[in-house]
Amino acid sequence: MEIILAVLIGFMYAAGIYLILRRSLVKLIVGLIILGNAVNLLLFLLGGITKGQPPVIGDAEKLLAGVYADPLPQALILTAIVISFGLQAFAMVLLQREYIQGGVEDLDNLKEEDEEK
Amino acid sequence: MNDNLILLPVILQLALALMLLFFWSKTKWQRIGSMVGNTLFLMVAVYLFVKIYKNGVLFTQAGDWEAPFGITFVADLFSATMLVITALSGLAVSIFASGSMSRRRSLFVFFPIYHFLLMGISGSFLAGDLFNLYVWFELIIIASFGLITLGGGRRQLEGALKYVTLNLLASILFLTGIAFLYGLTGTLNMADLARKIPLIQNEGLLTITALMFFIGLGIKTAVFPLYFWLPASYHTPMSAVSAIFGGLLTKVGVYALFRVFSLFFLPDSFTATVITAVAALTLIMGAMGALIQKDTRKLFSWLIVCHIGFMIAGLGIYTTAAIAGAVFYLFHDILVKTNLFMISGLIHKISGTFKLKKLGGLYSQYPKITLLIAIPLFSLVGIPPLSGFWPKLLLIQGGMEIQGYLIIAAIILGSFVTLATIGKFWLEVVWKEQPAFTYKKHFIPFSQLPYIQKFSYVFPIGLLASVSLFLGFGAEIIIDIVNQIAFDLMNPDAYIELILPKE
């Protein structure tokens, strides 16, 4: 399971970075979304995957004993998902406004600001 | 000492932002609320500072869950001083924005977003937990996205696009670093990390993680070669927004770098070399970029990049003197950079343009204002005894201790080119005669403004200039404070023991 996830995460990072290096605005945002998801999976993987051992304290016990799944990465991922959702929604609206106002879809043409008029 | 009071700056800003949202259409109330609120914020910050200066570090555990399980908030002298400086800049920008912003622009909820931004900034100074720091950073960037696109002209959207993309990427890299660190240690509490990281055997992976943090925070801090988004975007929004961005946002990154690299990623020879080299290149590239600019705000944006190098150099040299110098420079830089962007806003209001070629004749029109803006400009260059001089002295002293002559050369070159740039700015804006020009339609120049609005343009500049003067002439007090901060940063054991007492 770890190996499959590790390969998947590597692939997602590669795909995300490839996409943000492309010239198209839409591919840029898709790349950022894929990278964001890859980070969440990475957090999940590095928190350690434990199957079928929920962190529940039984009636007879007072402490968690033995091997149990770490609940913290899930809390972290949940927070990160919510945050990246908001940021990505903003970025998409921004891209749309930029496209409507400027009509530019190619990042290479986004250099009006750097040129002296 | 355990004290819930340290959350007060965050709660105050949150309450202020929410309250101002209710006055959405009453822009006059928003302005007054923002100024009064930030005055309160300054008072709270000063109160906390005095308390921490006398009694030592304050902390609180959210919900009384003990570290490392709960979320820890810590305010040491470094955080407290940063809060005071933030409050001063925040108040100045509040006043400046109240005068300079048209009613139409204020209707785009500038003030509430601005206070959310200040909330994020104060929160990140207090965070004692790495993931919490990440969340505060996200709050800062979403608020800054709102501010940078406010008004939404085409040029502004283009600048915002670059800003948004690179900041999103920086957050992703920062979170990747956090994930690695959690995998290595199983904790994200900073004090706990400081205990557990020295025990890790896998040093290669640890160095990679440290560099991941350096890249993620480095994009936010705008160090070489990750700074290109800054000069491409900071000159596009309105002056009040540029002022708060230029003054505070990159400096929050610097603050986080200092925390991370002094508390748990203690620089080994490899990371120290990388940091020093990056600092030297940042100084040189920023200075070279600033030399050729033809627009006041672009020129100041490049100077931000250049001067980030001074602070990172202190981190790279890593002796008590150098860290003290870098921290002193950080305080000085926040005040001066905020002031510079407000000055460019004032000059725009007087002359109707940001282009150096079309500017001129400021001294013959407004001699008193010219003398006022000379203070921050000369402090920026570091003419003794103004505030830029002392930190550079400490930095060079620190560099001498480790025989880092190359970094000293870069520091001196950076200062020298800053002098040349400011000299050019002075020639073009103050002494040259202004070429013939006409104001844009509907543009109300400074001379025709009512008295109260003129006051709100000049007063914040005077406020920050007088604080800069205090930093320069009261350097003995400030050096005392920064020496203590540097000592605390270099010897974090007391901090760790306080948050996480050994059984």
For A56-81, what is each residue's pLDDT tens digit?
887 877 777 777 888 888 899 999 99
Copy the structure tokens of residue A60: 């007879």
Residue B106's pLDDT is: 67
Only one residue has tokens 């020298």, namely: B416
Is B135 in Cβ contact with A97 (below 8 Å)?
no
Q: Cβ contacts (< 8 Å) between A90 and chain B: which residues?
A: 142, 145, 164
Burial B194-211, CB ≥16 within 10 A → b, else e? bbbbeeeeeeeebeebbb
Give the Å distances, CA to CA, from B51 to B40, B119, B227, B374, B485. Answer: 16, 21, 37, 35, 15
Domain that holds residue B383: 4-499
DSSP state of B236: S
Specify the long-range contacts of residues B435-441, CB closer than 8 Å, at least 24 apart: B435/B357, B435/B358, B435/B360, B437/B351, B437/B352, B437/B353, B437/B358, B439/B352, B440/B352
Question: Would you say residue A98 has pLDDT above 80?
Answer: yes
Is A95 in Cβ contact with B182 (below 8 Å)?
no
Q: Is B167 helix (H, G, I), strand (E, B) or coil?
A: helix
Residue A115's pLDDT is: 58
Copy the structure tokens of residue B429: 């804006």
Question: Would you say residue A117 has pLDDT above 70?
Answer: no
B247 by Cβ neighbours in 10 Å (0-12 / 13-18 / 19+) ranks as buried
Is B131 in Cβ contact with A79 (below 8 Å)?
yes
Give the number of domains in chain B.
Answer: 1
Q: Cβ contacts (< 8 Å) between B164 and chain A: which residues?
A: 90-91, 94
ipTM above 0.85, yes or no: yes
Helix axes B389-401, B451-473, angle to 10 degrees: 30
Question: Would you say residue A116 has pLDDT above 80?
Answer: no
Q: Is A24 helix (H, G, I), strand (E, B) or coil?
A: strand
Amino acid, single-letter form, for residue B242: S
Q: Smallest CA–CA separation between A100 and chain B, in Å? A: 10
Nearest chain B residue to A31, by CA = B169
For B46-66, what is each residue's pLDDT tens digit?
999 999 999 889 999 888 888
Alpha-carbon gap, residue B320 to B262, rounded angstroms: 11
Nearest chain A residue to B138, by CA = A83
For B282-302, what is each residue's pLDDT tens digit?
999 999 999 988 889 999 999
Question: What tens-digit pLDDT sequence spans chain B (503 residues)?
Answer: 778 889 999 999 999 999 999 988 888 888 899 999 999 999 999 999 999 999 889 999 888 888 788 889 999 999 999 999 999 999 999 999 988 877 777 667 889 999 999 999 999 999 989 999 999 999 999 999 999 988 777 788 888 888 999 999 999 999 999 999 999 988 899 999 998 888 888 888 999 999 999 999 999 999 988 998 998 888 888 889 999 998 899 999 999 999 999 988 887 888 889 999 999 999 999 999 999 888 899 999 999 999 999 999 999 999 999 999 999 999 999 999 999 999 999 999 888 888 888 888 888 889 999 999 999 999 999 888 888 899 999 999 999 999 889 999 999 999 999 999 999 999 989 888 888 777 877 788 888 888 888 899 999 999 999 999 999 999 899 999 999 999 999 998 888 888 888 76
Give the Å distances, CA to CA, from B159 to B9, B91, B95, B129, B251. Answer: 31, 26, 25, 32, 20
Q: Smallest CA–CA separation between B456 and chain A, in Å? A: 30
Residue A114's pLDDT is: 57
Residue B462's pLDDT is: 95
Angle at B455 between CA B452 and CA B461, to 5 degrees: 155
Residue B91: CA atoms inside 13 Å, Cβ hemisphere, count? 20
Domains recognised in chain A with CATH numbers:
2-51+68-110 (1.10.287.3510)
